[in-house]
Structure 1
Amino acid sequence: MIAISATDKKLTSSMDLRFGRAPYFLLTDGETSRFVSNPFCNEESNIGPRLVNFLKEHNVNRIVTGEIGPKAKAKLDEFKIQLIMLSEDKIALLHILKKMNLNR
């Protein structure tokens, strides 16, 4: 399962460059896709590691985002979750899916 940080719950919305502060994540396996809300985006601290745990519970094994902190990165390494970082601002989720050949 792949998780892409998202600014809104629409495929036409942009990827959110901020991993921990992204309000939503698009979860997809190439066949089915759904959005989940980030339950930690308004928290004060330790957002990244808790968010990685949350995504792990959703069977995520790859994350596409823009920026990630060192604590979250350490947690990704611990769980062996692949990180794909994109620096393009305002790249549409549909465009990312197309690049990854997941636009079904």
Structure 2
Amino acid sequence: MIAISATDKKVTAPMDLRFGRAPYFYLSDGKESRFIVNPYCQEENDVAPRVVQLLANENVSKIITGEVGPKAHDGLLKQNIQIIMLDEERIKINQVLKKINF
């Protein structure tokens, strides 16, 4: 299962460059796809560990995002979630999917 940080709940929306603060995540296993809400994006403290756990609970094995802080990085590694960072501002989720041939 892959996850892409998203600014909105549509594949034409831009990828969110902020991992922990992304309001949504696009999830796909290649057959089924859906968006989930990040309930922690507005929290002030310890967002990263909770977002990592949210994705781990969804059986995510790869996260595609723009920036990952040290707490998130460590947590993702502990959960065996591969990190793929893209620095292309305003790249849309459907464009990310084409790039990774998904």
In the superposition, the TM-score normalised over structure 2's length comes to 0.98
| Matched residue, 2:32 | 32
TM-superposed CA distance for 1:80, in Å, is 1.2
State, as a whole percentage, how many aligned pairs show the same letter. Answer: 58
TM-superposed CA distance for 1:60, in Å, is 0.3
Q: In structure 1, what residue type is equivalent to 2:70?
A: P
In the superposition, the TM-score normalised over structure 1's length comes to 0.96
- TM-align CA RMSD: 0.6
TM-superposed CA distance for 1:79, in Å, is 1.1
Moved over 6 A (4+): none
| Matched residue, 1:44 | 44
SS at match of 2:83: strand
| Matched residue, 1:95 | 95
Report the Cα distance in structure 2 between the residues aligned to 1:77 and 1:18, rounded to whole angstroms: 18
TM-superposed CA distance for 1:95, in Å, is 0.5
Mapping of residues 78-89 of structure 1, within 5 Å: 78-89=78-89
* Unaligned 5+ runs, structure 2: none
Report the Cα distance in structure 2 between the residues aligned to 1:79 and 1:35, rounded to whole angstroms: 21
* Unaligned 5+ runs, structure 1: none
Report the Cα distance in structure 2 between the residues aligned to 1:72 and 1:49, rounded to whole angstroms: 6
Aligned residues: 102
TM-superposed CA distance for 1:97, in Å, is 0.6
